[in-house]
Amino acid sequence: MAKEIERKFAVSDPGIIAGRMGALIVQGYIADEPMTVRVRIMNAEAFMTLKCRTNGIERDEYEFPIPMHHARELLDKYCRGRVIEKTRYRIPHSGQVFEVDEFGGKLMGLMIAEVELDKAEQAIELPDWIGVELTHDCRFSNSALSLLEQAPEAR
């Protein structure tokens, strides 16, 4: 069983992505119960991901590559407007990689950084461009963001 262990933060300095190359991601949500079912296209690859509910900062996650035409069909037919667009930048810092997502479309202006951990209690050194922690704020899950008409304010 695969585990996802991550912490999530607002980005306080959007200039951190200046001059960096990012990967375009389009992802949509088919279901939230009993698991979140997500379809993602990232560059030229497509995936189906199943995620259980979070327990602290951990959750079970299963991800499978799928054919691109299946991903496009699922996004068009079954995500019912629950689609988000973002560009992901991978920024190394103190031996870890922060994934910074710059959202587009209806969530334009929102930037969130995530860091994947090996264990829940793992210490991390936060870069100076990191803002408030959003890990336990359910408004900032990608699934919740897909339902919004505009980006929430990170406080």
Known catalytic residues are 29
Q: How is residue 37 written in tokens?
A: 């079912």
Determine the Cα–Cα distance for residues 146 and 142; give it in Å rounded to an integer: 6
- Please name every residue paired with 62 in a beta bridge, in sequence order, or none if there are none: 50
Q: What is the DSSP letter of 14?
A: G
CB half-sphere exposure, 155, CA atoms < 13 A: 2
